[in-house]
Amino acid sequence: MRLGLVIDLDTCVGCHACAVACKQWNTSGTTGPLTDIAAYGAEPSGVWFNRIRHYEVGDYPNNKTVNMPMSCMHCEDADCVTVCPTGASYKRKEDGIVLVDQDKCMGCNLCAWACPYGARELDPVDGVMKKCTLCIDRIYDETLEPEDRQPACVITCPAHARFFGDLDDPDSQVSRLTRERAGQTLMPELGYKPTNTYLPPRVTRPVPTDDVRRKSLISSVKEWVNQAIVR
Amino acid sequence: MHPALSVIFFTVLSGAGYGLFMLVAVLHLTGSYPDASSGELQTQLAVALVLITIGLLSSSLHLHNPRNAWRAFMRVRTSWLSREAVLAVAFYPFALWYAWEVRATGGDVGQAGMIMGVIAVLLAGLTVFSTGMIYASLKTIRQWHTALTPANYLLLGLALGGLALVAIHGWFVGDDPLLGGIAIALLVLAAIMKGIYFLWIREVTGPTINTATGFTRAPVRILDPGHTAGTFLTREFGFDPGRQVIQRARLGVFALGFALPILLLAWVLSGAPAHWLTLALISALAGIGLERWLFFAEARHAVMLYHGRQHT
């Protein structure tokens, strides 16, 4: 089993709801707290498992805004695990989730150095490394309704841009989406084989505008009258 | 990369200590140490062990949870940091046994002491190599992910050790053509290696903002990093002193680290008082310290691509 996320860059609106839901769930979960520093100060900072960045792709007028949520990719060849000297970082055999055992971590930062995706953040108060757990305390919780056994970020996404599932199962929704939408991984050239997959924006036909009628004298007068009546 | 002072102290001091230990032990064990008095050998080995110990203690200062530092010996199979820790600790019993034999026998060590010395030299070399490999094994930083990194760590450690060796020898006996020659040769080799390194990292390779975001068919620019103030990532990986500072620091590395010590060494060998070698050592320590700072300041982590860098 290879559990991971599939994120649709076509529908992601960049609202940061996934990051907030993640922070809310995990700060009170098994890996919490996600310490904040000067939360109400001039320069608020803190630990987040999920961050959303916004990019402009292409040059005007053929440009497009792309919102890119990023959390741990739960890589198959996770260097953060191999460089860890204490054995605090580990990858679960049964489902591929990469975790940190906070009781073993000595806070040397080396795993964060080895991660190109910025998935690991040191909690300066606890002195240990923290990262996305794929909401392991949710997805296996049998007291929850089956539809709730998903990561908090997936459940909360208002644009349905996030999907959770087993990428080893060719018939799962995430595998199907990856196949049909030509899902891609980030920085594949580094060879970490990330599990999380991103669906690129769909190539859509441009909306035709040449048949839009030009303004005539009558339509201008009508428009003016309509506006005057509304006022 | 953010240059942590504790790591700079650790790598420079312990590198110099291991270099000094290796050179003293090899010269002593092969019988080519000039005017080897027991007191001088003991001092040399003691200085080496003190430098190594200060370095190792300082390395624990950058840990945020040092209570778990003992666990660093647990993952020798995969982690270079773990290997370094194990080798650094394994070095002590052999080195202390050898140093104790030197003290007990006045320099005329027996077979067991010689074997201990050889093993200690090997462990010292492997420890410095492992330190370099911690950095060289990171695929995320192209400036470090090269064979030149462990080579630099080894050569700079040996060069500092060579200078410490002649400087201490200068206080006990005076200048010596063999030790001076070794020190100059090591400094020249290290300077050439550092030059190759600077040339090597000029070539831009590796991931770009395009492969990082997956959009390889159009230019990509950052609109917003998603946070208003600094994060762990920007503080740890976003350090960039600017082109000008880096150029000046490189000049400083070559001037203080290599040129001045070589000139002072040549001057002493041609007749000046041997006490000037201490100045050469201080200058080299400052220069290599600057080199270690630069090693971090010039490193560009791949995660900065997500924060708007076009390439690393």
pLDDT at B36 > cutoff 90: no
Q: What percent of chain B has pLDDT over 90?
A: 83
CA atoms within 13 A on the CB side of B216: 11
User: Does A227 map to a domain?
Assistant: no
Would you tell me which residues 123-152 of chain A have a C-beta closer than 8 angstroms to some C-beta of chain B? 124, 126-128
> What DSSP line would sit under B179-226, residue for residue?
HHHHHHHHHHHHHHHHHHHHHHHHS--S-BHHHHHT--SS-EEEEE-S
Cβ separation B80–A83 shorter than 8 A: yes
The band of B274, judged by pLDDT with boundaries at 50, 70 and 90, is confident
Predicted local distance difference test score (pLDDT) of residue A194: 97
B64 vs A43, A65, A127: nearest CB: A127
Residue A173 above 90 pLDDT?
A: yes
Residues 6+ away with beta carbon under 8 Å from B206: A189, B142, B302, B311, B312
d(CA B90, CA A112): 28
Look up the domain containing A34 and give its range: 3-199
Residue-level pLDDT at B275: 87
Matching residue, tokens 């089956």: A146
Buried b (16+ CB within 10 A) or exposed e, A37-53: beeeeeeebbbbbbbbb
| pLDDT, average across residues A157-168 | 96
Average pLDDT, chain B: 94
pLDDT at B32 > cutoff 80: yes
Question: For residue A73, is it within any domain?
Answer: yes
Q: Is residue A154 part of a domain?
A: yes
* CA nearest to B226 within chain A: A53
**Exposed/middle/buried for A214, CB within 10 Å: 0-12, 13-18, 19+?**
exposed
Token representation of residue B166: 């002649």
Residue B281: DSSP 8-state: H
Return the CATH number at A96: 3.30.70.20
Closest chain A residue to B222, measured at CA? A55
Asked if pLDDT for residue A214 goes beyond 80, the answer is: no
pLDDT in the model for residue A230: 80
Element (H, E) at B266: helix B260-269
Q: What is the pLDDT of residue A219?
A: 86
Determine whether the interchain pair A54/B223 forms a contact, defined as Cβ–Cβ distance below 8 Å: yes
Query: What residues of chain B lie within 8 A of the CB of A42, using their CB?
Result: 229
Q: What is the predicted pLDDT for the residue at B142?
A: 95
Q: Is residue A226 situated within a structural domain?
A: no
Where residue A204 falls among pLDDT bands split at 50, 70, 90?
confident
Mean predicted confidence (pLDDT) in A72-79: 96
Contacts of residue B237 in chain A, CB cutoff 8 Å? 118
In angstroms, rounded to a whole number, what is the distance separating the alpha carbons of residues A81 and A87?
A: 8
Identify the pLDDT of residue B287. 96
Task: Compute φ and ψ for A35, nearest 5 degrees.
Answer: -60, 140
Q: What ipTM was assigned to the predicted interfaces of this complex? A: 0.92
A77 touches chain B (CB under 8 A): no
Statement: residue A209 has pLDDT above 90: no
Q: How many residues does chain A have?
A: 231
Return mean pLDDT, chain A.
93
Neighbours of B76 (CB within 10 A): 16
The pLDDT, as a whole number, for residue A128 is: 95
**pLDDT tens figures, B120-175:** 999 999 999 999 999 999 999 999 999 999 999 999 999 999 999 999 999 998 88
**Residue A33 within a domain:** yes
Which residue ranges form the domains of chain B, and what is each CATH number?
Answer: 5-307 (1.20.1630.10)
pTM, entire model: 0.91
pLDDT the model gives residue B157: 96
Does any CB of chain B come closer than 8 Å to the CB of residue A68?
Answer: yes
Cβ atoms of residues A163 and A6 within 8 Å = yes
**Domain assignment of residue A228, yes or no:** no
Query: Any idea what the Cα angle at residue B102 is, between residues B98 and B103, rounded to 5°?
Result: 115
Residue A12 forms part of a structural domain: yes
Give yes or no for a contact between A66 and B238, defined as CB atoms under 8 angstroms apart.
Answer: no
Number of domains in chain A: 1
Q: Which range, of A40-54, B102-116, B283-297, averages the lowest pLDDT?
A: B102-116
Q: Where does the pLDDT of residue B22 fall: very low under 50, low under 70, confident under 90, or very high at 90 and above? A: very high
Nearest CA in chain B to A108: B63
**In the prediction, which pLDDT does B189 show?**
97
Nearest chain B residue to A59 by CA: give it. Answer: B219
Measured between beta carbons, which residues in chain A are less than 8 angstroms from residue B211? 186-189
Quick check: B218 and A57 CB within 8 A? Answer: yes
Report the amino acid identity of residue A165. Answer: G
* Least CB–CB distance from B79: residue in A54, A85, A115: A85
Q: Of the spans A197-201, B61-65, B227-231, which averages the highest pLDDT?
A: A197-201
Q: Provide the pairing of β-strand A197-199 with A3-8.
A: parallel
Around A125, how many Cα atoms within 13 Å sit in the side-chain half-sphere?
Answer: 10
For A105, A112, A129, the CA distances from A89, given in Å and listed in that order, are 8, 11, 9
Residues making up chain B, counted from first to last: 312
Q: Do B74 and A51 touch (CB under 8 A)?
A: no
For Cα atoms A128, A132, A135, give the angle at the middle one, nearest 5 degrees.
120
